[in-house]
Structure 1
């Protein structure tokens, strides 16, 4: 299996990067939709229905598959011989950050259901939580590029 993973390494890495980009785009955009929903779309109006559809489709059709592909390709990269040196700090920082990113994804899914049921944590909370993927992205990119 190791030889096979080494052979397809460039393809796996490409797939991983593309999936991460799609997942991150959703992680950046969905909290912003929640801000709009919480602040402007809580009444019985068309914007609420449109926001609900946008949120659900973004989470289910784009973000969930992108997260699954990110994880799958990432695990293939981890299993590829010579790619990860677990004696360094960077793979641990990346792993912890990816777990936190996955938690955030699931938190967004819970918030979508709450908003769909007319409950909101408030626009301010969603604005603050919108910074979480940025912080995690910085940790991941720096750890992978610098490899400390």
Structure 2
């Protein structure tokens, strides 16, 4: 198995990067949709129905598959011999940040369900603030992997 992972290392890394890009795009965009939904949309309007569809499709058709493929290809990279030295700090900071990113993804899924049920209690300002979290986590992840601090 390890020979197979080593043979396909560059392919695995390429698909991991593509998956991460798609996931990050969704993590940046969905909270922005929530900002507009919370601030501009009236309950039971055509605009609300449109936002509901956009939010659901973004989460279900793009973000969830991208997160799953990010994890699958990332774990394949971790299992590839010689790629990760667990005695260093960087894989642990990356792992903690990816877990936090996954928790944020799940939090967004919960907020989408709140909007769908008409139970949203958060303001556009709160969603704007939360929209910064994936950026901070991305910075930690990229610095961890590239600089290997």
Please list, as runs of the form range in 1=range in 2, the aligned pairs for 1:63-74 lying within 5 A after superposition: 63-74=63-74
Q: Deviation at 1:116? A: 1.1
Q: Deviation at 1:45? A: 1.2
- Verify the 8 A CA contact 1:42 1:118 in the aligned structure 2: no
Q: TM-score, normalised by structure 2?
A: 0.98
Structure 1 residues not aligned, in runs of 5+: none
Match of 2:136 in 1: 135
- Verify the 8 A CA contact 1:94 1:140 in the aligned structure 2: yes
- Whole-angstrom CA distance in 1 between matches of 2:43 and 2:64: 28
Map Cα deviations across residues 12-42 of structure 1 (whole Å, 9 max, x no partner): 0000000000000000000000001001113
What is the total number of aligned residue pairs between the two structures? 148
Match of 2:40 in 1: 40
Q: CA RMSD in A?
A: 0.6
- Whole-angstrom CA distance in 2 between matches of 1:122 and 1:113: 16
Q: Deviation at 1:91? A: 0.2
In the alignment, structure 1 residue 94 sits paired with structure 2 residue 107? no
- Whole-angstrom CA distance in 2 between matches of 1:75 and 1:139: 18
